[in-house]
A and B are shown apart, each in its own frame.
Chain A
Amino acid sequence: MTASKAWDVAAAVPDPELPCVTVAELGILREVVMEGNTAVARVSPTYSGCPAVQFIEEVIADALCDAGYKARIERVISPPWTTDWISDEGREKLRAFGIAPPQKASNSKRALFGETVVTCPRCGATDTEKLSEFGSTPCKAHYRCKTCLEPFDYFKCI
């Protein structure tokens, strides 16, 4: 019943909307500490209104309970989550899943406002166009590749 084992349990939970990546790879699981017998997992929401936040918290708590821990979830909003916290491995998994990963250094206005090149996650072409700033979830925009013609999601920088 150590914090590092509890971390391993919580970290392996997949994101419900993006099952290809775990909550640790997304960077929304910030830390797990032990308070007596209770594993306290600190979780940062991606967007203020992300409808999955409560569900993600429940899934992490369930995973910890199943592993024999008493669990409590703390929602941490400061410092705010940023797409820069998505690990390199997470980015690669998103790409393999068909979602173009966010640009790094999202705090610059340039990346926030999508002036950088988005690479097609399927064929790797850079000749892509934005169809809609708002996609299937609050964290994604909708793009199309002009080379292979496939539409795809782009994980927006924030």
Chain B
Amino acid sequence: MALYRALIELADDHLVLGHRLSEWCGHAPMLEEDLALSNFALDLIGTARSLYAYAAEVEGKGRSEDDLAYLRNEREYLNCLLVERPNGDFAHTMLREFYFAAFMEPFWQAALSSADPVIAGIAGKAVKEMAYHLRHAGEWIVRLGDGTEESAARMQAAVVDLHPYWEELFSGGDCDALPDRAAIQPAWEASVKVVFAEANLDWPEPVYGQNGGRDGMHSEVLGRMLSDMQYLQRALPGATW
């Protein structure tokens, strides 16, 4: 079941972040960003869907992608804590997206050569989409960090707030079909620090990292998000359209 578990971790990361980004729909500071964030949400939820469908097949218990997304409780979700962090202001949203994309782009790049054809197929689509996410979020990090006094202060505040969470991206179950998460960390840190230098942002001193997401131990915010996301299936079990 190592593969099933690793797929669920990955799918939960995508679904939870996708749902968070979708919360911006209709609320972004300008139309282009509203479209961008909604499109990012669609990409992530689409990838989550492929991953859940495969996880359900691997599990072989007759569950569907919808069962996995809508009928699991918070403690069964294995996403890292970073992706469930609330949207906050634009600096927080973009930094969270940037950290995630800076991890997923090389992750999918490595997964292209997976011996598992389904993984390689999902990677083939996702790697191109993540390149867009990475560039777009990276541009905002620089624009805000190297912007006005106010935007720079907010960007730096977001860096401090999310600092306990990025390391958990590199934890997760081992399985042969997926790339080794930990191996990506040096390249991730290097690429993030390049953008930070351009954005005049300081990389904070190490702090005690928050984790537990991979064991289903979440912060309070995830339960609230799921109660919103899963409302329809909970209120009308089995509803389809």
Contact B131 A112 (CB under 8 A): yes
Least Cβ distance of B107 to chain A in Å?
A: 15
Q: Which residues of chain A from 101 to 158 have any CB-CB distance to chain B below 8 Å in the complex?
A: 109, 112-113, 131-136, 138, 142, 158
Contact B36 A78 (CB under 8 A): no
A85 lies within 8 A of chain B by Cβ? no
Contact B43 A138 (CB under 8 A): yes
Q: List the count of A-B residue pairs having beta carbons below 8 Å apart.
A: 75
Contact A80 B121 (CB under 8 A): yes
> How long is the Cα–Cα vector from A91 to B131 in the complex, in angstroms?
24
> How long is the Cα–Cα vector from A49 to B41 in the complex, in angstroms?
8
* Range class of the B interface residue count: 20 to 34
Is chain B's binding surface mostly helix, strand, loop or mixed? helix
A51 lies within 8 A of chain B by Cβ? yes
Contact B121 A77 (CB under 8 A): yes
The residue of chain A having its C-beta at the shortest distance from the C-beta of B44 within the complex is A49
A50 lies within 8 A of chain B by Cβ? yes
Contact A47 B43 (CB under 8 A): yes
Known A-B contacts A48-B129, A112-B131; A132 and B124 likewise in contact (beta carbons under 8 Å): no
Which residue of A48, A131, A142 contacts B47 across the interface (Cβ within 8 Å)? A48
Closest 8 CB pairs of A and B: A49-B46, A78-B121, A48-B46, A49-B42, A80-B124, A132-B32, A77-B121, A134-B35
